[in-house]
Amino acid sequence: MAWQTESIMARKGVAKGVRGKSHTITEAEQGKYHYVYGPYFDKVLTVDPGAVVAAETHDAFEGAIKSETDVPSKILNFPFLNPQNGPIWVNGAEKGDTLAVYIESIVPRGPQPRGTTVVMPEFGGLVGTGNTALLNPPLPERVKKLEITAEHGTKWNDKITLPYEPFIGTIGTSPEIEAISSLVPDYYGGNMDLPDVGVGAIIYLPVNTAGALLYLGDCHAAQGDGELCGVAIEHPTVTTVQIDLIKGWPIHWPRLETKDFIMTIGSARPMEDAARIAYRELCRWMAADYGFDEIDAYMLLTQAGRVRLGNMVDPKYTLGASIKKSFLV
């Protein structure tokens, strides 16, 4: 941690960004994985701010797709998809607080080929779906199993290798009274599928209920902008995060910080609404914390804002809007 010592997490966190006690959530410790983000389940772990947690995550199919001859629509059992580790209770967290989660490392695990991507019916960015409900015939189903190592990345075929650029596809806190499918991204995080939520970044999440109830899972070995066919390079991992708690800095949507930029994350349909959410939050953040007049912020973002498309396939689309820290002077 270098720039991180100057991060918002370090400056505002209860633990001042200092690494605390280490914990694990192995498959055995997790037991039953969860398919919703909600307050109705027993916590799997209780931590203090500063805690470091190494979680054994499953892939989005909980390992059920093992071979390229598998037929996803016959194997997958909706809504039991996208299994999540957690919930993790963070001591002291209360509604209105903010959770800071520094992503320390993501390491692939499990037997090869560890990676899975599929084309399946009624899901994806370039096909009719349950939401964009059409009469066209579906595409044929297809499964691709892929070898992944942290050193060599993902071997796509004999000619193409994708670098290992892992990130957490799904991470968030519990809503206060709702329990939402882990396929959905929203104001509390969830299935954002945004590649910026990667190793070295800090994500900030609103706390909606006592203990925050952090969930995470669904790590991707690589992903393009938009997660076009709906399924990135899904793989099981050991994902290690450091958790801190921020009092007195309430946020309405997830935020993210790296060495170089700050980002706000919006999830909605249609896609322009996700962009509006992200950019409005960024305007307001620049106004609240960096001395900008709100309209000045609006005008500067017009010239210098950056947008990252997370997903264009999930029940809500996710976009991150960012600005370089060098402009926040």
- Judge whether 43 and 88 are in contact, CB under 8 Å: yes
Residues 173 and 205 sit within 8 Å (Cβ to Cβ): yes
Q: Of residues 60, 162, 219, 241, which one binds a second copy by CB under 8 A?
A: 162
The residue among 201 and 319 lying less far from a second copy, judged by its C-beta, is: 319
Closer residue to a second copy in complex, CB, 238/271: 271
- The minimum distance between CB 242 and a second copy, in angstroms, equals 28
125 binds a second copy (CB under 8 A): yes
CA distances from 306 to 254, 265, 302, 324 (A): 16, 12, 9, 9
One-letter amino acid at 235 equals: H
Nearer to a second copy, 91 or 112 (CB): 112
In the complex, least distance from residue 154 CB atom to a second copy, rounded to whole angstroms: 7
Stretch of 11-19, 133-141, 210-218, 255-263 contacting a second copy, by CB under 8 A:
133-141
Quick check: 307 binds a second copy (CB under 8 A)?
yes
Q: Are 183 and 192 in contact (CB under 8 A)?
A: no
Q: Does 48 bind a second copy (CB under 8 A)?
A: no
Judge contact between 84 and 30, C-beta under 8 A. Answer: no
Count Cβ atoms within 10 A of the Cβ of residue 189 and give its class: 0-12 exposed, 13-18 middle, 19 or more buried. buried
The residues in 222-251 that bind a second copy, with binding defined as CB under 8 A, are 222-233
Q: What is the Cα–Cα distance from 66 to 57, expressed in whole angstroms?
A: 17
CA max distance for the chain: 57
Total residues interacting with a second copy, rule: CB under 8 A: 82
Q: Beta-carbon neighbour count of residue 329 at 10 Å?
A: 6
Is residue 290 close enough to count as binding a second copy by CB under 8 A?
no
Candidates 7-15, 125-133, 241-249, 255-263: pick the segment binding a second copy (CB under 8 A): 125-133
Q: Which of 23, 54, 176, 290 binds a second copy (CB under 8 A)?
A: 176
Q: Of 76, 180, 219, 265, which one interacts with a second copy (CB under 8 A)?
A: 180
Interaction of residue 136 with a second copy, rule CB under 8 A:
yes
